[in-house]
Structure 1
Amino acid sequence: MSALSIAITKLKATSAVTSKTTAARIYPVDLPQGASQPCLVVNIASGYDEHMLSGAGKYYRNRVTVECNAPTSEAVMALGDAVMAALEDNVNATIGTFTGITTQFADLDRTDYTDDRTTYRRTLDFFIRWRH
């Protein structure tokens, strides 16, 4: 499991998120062509392994980006708020089959829209710390 699958698992298990979109509309890495809105795309932006005196610690911290997409600015803000609540503050959490996971809001909360105003986006970044 990676931070990408941890984030997706948590988002799919959070009713506040799936009430605004469906679990089937939470995508890893790439938004499929013709995907319906509202939806989420989750990507890893960066990551590193905590080094120990004995070498690689296999205790990773990844920065994960969640892109919220919706047909209106109100819908994208509500979807982003649900994502924030799901991922902003988990300490020593069990997500899927992994335990001891920490998730926290990083520092990015950005909005924008397409030129034709058919898609509004809200991009949020989170740090996910997990042990391999």
Structure 2
Amino acid sequence: MKISHVRIAVFGFFILYALAVTWPGAVPFNRARPFILGLPFTMAWAVLWIVLGCVALWILDWSETRARPDGGPEGAARVAHRAAAEGGHPVREAAPGQRRRGHDADSDRAAGATLPPRRCTPSTLGE
């Protein structure tokens, strides 16, 4: 199924959801009996739609992930691993005098980068 069809179906579902739990759509279900799992029928009706909304969002997320060109989060990890295996780095290199996020000074020195040590002084806190 095409992702655009899934998006339209989920959008339509949430329009139906809004009608089913608000005033005009919920009037036929506005009663206390029968009790379902100890809940009055009206509350069980609302809980049912909340659960169905979670399922619809999961289906949308699943189909969006499968529609990605890299195959989703796992595919992005494969791309990063392949780049690292080829000697490249998927993260952009730091400009001279800058630190890369997520890297410590020891790994930078081992990679041949010469970055100045970071100092936290009152004059640099306002920058």
TM tier, smaller: under 0.3
Larger CA Rg, structure 1 vs 2: 2
**Structure 1 length-normalised TM:** 0.21
- Larger RCO, structures 1/2 (Cα 8 Å, 6+ apart): 1
**TM-score (normalised: structure 2):** 0.21
